Amino acid sequence: MNFDELSDYLDQSEKRIKSVLDQSHVSDYFKPEDIKNSVLSYLDRDAKRLRPSVLLMAAGALGGRDREELALSAAAGVELFHTWTLVHDDLIDNDVLRRGGATVHEAMRKVARDKYNLSPDRAVEYGRDIAILTGDMQHGWAVASFVDCALDSGLDPVLTLKLIGHLQSYVLGNLIFGEVLDVRYGMHSLSELPDIDEDSIVEMLRLKTGVLYEFAGMAGALIGKNTCDFEDGEVQAITQFAGNCGTAFQLQDDILGITGDEEMLGKPVGSDIREGKKTVIVYEALKNANESQKAQLLATLGERQATDEQVKATTELLRVLNGIDRTKELAVGYINNAIPYLEDIADSQYKRLLMLWAKYMLDREL
Amino acid sequence: MNFDELSDYLDQSEKRIKSVLDQSHVSDYFKPEDIKNSVLSYLDRDAKRLRPSVLLMAAGALGGRDREELALSAAAGVELFHTWTLVHDDLIDNDVLRRGGATVHEAMRKVARDKYNLSPDRAVEYGRDIAILTGDMQHGWAVASFVDCALDSGLDPVLTLKLIGHLQSYVLGNLIFGEVLDVRYGMHSLSELPDIDEDSIVEMLRLKTGVLYEFAGMAGALIGKNTCDFEDGEVQAITQFAGNCGTAFQLQDDILGITGDEEMLGKPVGSDIREGKKTVIVYEALKNANESQKAQLLATLGERQATDEQVKATTELLRVLNGIDRTKELAVGYINNAIPYLEDIADSQYKRLLMLWAKYMLDREL
């Protein structure tokens, strides 16, 4: 499959979003320096900007180039919204790496230790505090960026308010629900995992990831069509399309977390295994394992000190026990569900891009 | 001074705000139960609702009863905004009590320990995680409540967007700046405190507290007058009035933290002393202390194990060394600055209430 057209579009999107963010008046309020650096850190790193790109493609598909252009600040708002959830999520997960660099709380822990000479415990607290406040600031910036889309770019004020209201109630609430479920799953040891069924894990992925993709598609569609009617047929079609693709994205993400390349992922190979991340892969493998395989999996999954050898053997076992294939099958199912939603959308470059993007969800390697 | 008229108004406000919150559609998205309980916990406890009341009084002063009524969801939004900052601030400060009950992170730590049987370390993490996500949800609810003010109550959509944009950039950024300064001051031992001058402490109070009061006044004034002109003379007058009163509020809060009554404050007497809270009171007292008094202060301030006897002696020393009087003097100065701003506002019940409220900032005992 040739994704060149999509790659070009994503590269362009990244530049356009970056330019909106660079020119934002909100950056006047990133104080002091530790907050400014932290608010910008993830945004300055390489990333695919898939969520804002979906918003832009959806706007283009229903409204053409001018509406796509008008949607830029809203697209930036979706990227910012995603970013603050990463900062808080990384703190909650105690992760130290994101996009090839330190997470906010980890970077600020080091600043507190090396620059402010705080004790180890106090340095951890400073990292935590700055990460909380950084996410809070980015959350505000995300909303302010939607406001700019109306006041600076001319998006209909009532539509803008409806988008903000939906983002701050339905989307946020579902995302937090998914995050709490994830935290809860993390509270159980892996040997108890089969009590959680596959549907629960997929539902958690939908809440944590699918719902924001769904919003990106919906917001783009509404902006493209310049309507406030959330129930409009074309708007609903793109909403469902994007939501299904978003869940597939996360399933593929879990596969890459096991089989992916260190360079491309920006995090060490095996980290999902050492962290004992609860995925469909692990659930399926444990379900199919015999007693000795199960013992072998439980000895490595969630074991931070696992050797590279053990990680390699576990990766192979997850594959042999159908974990990867089952997850891929689910991802393919979501994409197959998604694609027919585009049938009644008029042909255009944007529709072609959306179609490519759906297929890219399964083919991507980073 | 007779504050009966103000007391009646505040009591009514509390009921009106409560009713808006109780009927909010956003509560559909408070999931799971730990999030729902946490999002509502501070709101269900006794509180004065001063910030939303200022917004309502300002709206009434410039627009009469109908505009005041129309502003209710915006007033609720200010209360919600204040609430999420409390939840995150309590976590950052490691405080265990708020309004006479457990803070969110502390209550959820206990749930994790007693209901989920987590280890002490994991229980602390669960408390932290739920507190982060609770504040995030309330942050979204605050914004959604402003949206409701437009879409349900008929507030001008463009004005609503301007208010949301200002709240999420200027107000939020300054508040976070103040919070980081507070965290930084907490990193220094008290013996180093005199390096921070009085102006810096007062500026920190202005950022952490004054700016949101300023916003409450400004939002109420703009809604009352139904204008988008932030530079309007009357709007500016009420903005400055409310900001000055807000800083006085916090200065008085620090006094009550030392001299106040346990019942009324909802936190143990002496907690500010045992926590070593950096206030003008402490700064002034240390500045005026001789070597032996300084040693005595430093031995108790920030000492979590200090006895009631020591706390009592320190309270007396802070008073003798002019800490309380100096803080009161500053608070009076802010109120004296504030009151003339009301001169050109037309007389009304609302103006009378605002004037009473300014004086109440100095007289209040809780």
Give the minimum alpha-carbon distance from B32 to chain A in angstroms, rounded to a whole number.
Answer: 6
Would you call B143 and A129 a contact, using CB atoms and an 8 Å cutoff? no
CB-CB: which of A135, A151, A172 is closest to B161? A151
Q: In the numeric block, which tokens belong to residue B45? A: 């406890």
Residue type, B144: A
Average pLDDT of the residues in B285-299: 94
**Residues in B touching A173 (Cβ below 8 Å):** 26, 28-31, 137, 140
Nearest CA in chain A to B119: A187
pLDDT of residue A195: 65
Average pLDDT of the residues in B4-8: 96
Would you call A176 and B35 a contact, using CB atoms and an 8 Å cutoff? yes
Residue type, B313: A
Dist CA A195 CA A191 (whole Å): 9
**Residues in A touching B28 (Cβ below 8 Å):** 169, 173
Residue B201 region by backbone torsions, left for phi larger than 0, else alpha for psi between -120 and 50, else beta: alpha
The answer, yes or no, to whether residue B194 has pLDDT greater than 70, is: no
pLDDT of residue A193: 58
Would you call A168 and B144 a contact, using CB atoms and an 8 Å cutoff? yes
Total residue length of chain A:
366
**Residues in B touching A29 (Cβ below 8 Å):** 169-170, 172-174, 177
- What three-state secondary structure class fits B139? helix
Q: What is the mean pLDDT of chain B?
A: 95
Residue ranges in chain A modelled with pLDDT below 50: none
Give the minimum alpha-carbon distance from A99 to chain B in angstroms, rounded to a whole number.
Answer: 22
Strand-pairing partners, residue B25, are: none
Residue B293 region by backbone torsions, left for phi larger than 0, else alpha for psi between -120 and 50, else beta: alpha
Give the minimum alpha-carbon distance from B347 to chain A in angstroms, rounded to a whole number.
Answer: 35
Average pLDDT of the residues in B93-116: 96
CB-CB: which of A135, A165, A179 is closest to B144? A165
> For A263, phi and psi rounded to 5 degrees?
-50, -50
Select from A83, A176, A207 the residue whose CB has the most chain B CBs within 10 Å, as the one to mutate to test that interface.
A176
pTM of the model: 0.97
Taking only the tens place, the pLDDT of each residue in B18-68 is 999 999 999 999 999 999 999 999 999 988 899 999 999 999 999 999 999
Would you call A31 and B91 a contact, using CB atoms and an 8 Å cutoff? no
Give the minimum alpha-carbon distance from B85 to chain A in angstroms, rounded to a whole number.
Answer: 9
CB pairs A-B closer than 8 Å? 176
Interface predicted TM-score (ipTM) over 0.90: yes
Would you call B140 and A169 a contact, using CB atoms and an 8 Å cutoff? yes
CB-CB: which of B29, B151, B169 is closest to A26? B169
pLDDT of residue A270: 86
Closest by CA to B268, choosing from B316, B297, B306, is B306
Would you call B168 and A144 a contact, using CB atoms and an 8 Å cutoff? yes
Dist CA A287 CA A188 (whole Å): 16
> For B265, phi and psi rounded to 5 degrees?
-80, -25
**Residues in B touching A86 (Cβ below 8 Å):** none
Percent above pLDDT 70 for chain A:
98
pLDDT of residue A35: 98
pLDDT of residue B197: 87
Nearest CA in chain B to A184: B126
The answer, yes or no, to whether residue B300 has pLDDT greater than 60, is: yes
pLDDT of residue A360: 95
Rg of chain B over CA atoms, in angstroms?
Answer: 21
DSSP codes joined into one string, A180-191: HHHHHHHHS-GG
pLDDT of residue B195: 65
Nearest CA in chain B to A182: B129
Would you call B136 and A180 a contact, using CB atoms and an 8 Å cutoff? no
Round to the nearest angstrom and report the end-to-end CA distance of chain A: 16
Q: In the numeric block, which tokens belong to residue A288? A: 């199919």
Looking only at Cα atoms, what is the longest distance across chain A?
63
pLDDT of residue A320: 97
CB-CB: which of B164, B165, B187 is closest to A116? B187
CB-CB: which of B128, B147, B174 is closest to A164? B147
> For chain A, what are the domain ranges?
4-29+45-79+135-363
Closest by CA to A127, choosing from B92, B173, B85, B176, is B92
Percent above pLDDT 90 for chain B:
89
Asked whether the beta carbons of A24 and A72 are under 8 A apart, the reply is no
**Residues in B touching A88 (Cβ below 8 Å):** 132-133, 136
Would you call B139 and A136 a contact, using CB atoms and an 8 Å cutoff? yes
The answer, yes or no, to whether residue B365 has pLDDT greater than 90, is: no
Class of domain B4-363: mainly alpha
CATH of A4-29+45-79+135-363, one of 3.30.1510.10, 1.10.600.10, 3.30.70.1400, 1.20.210.10: 1.10.600.10
CB-CB: which of A133, A169, A181 is closest to B29? A169
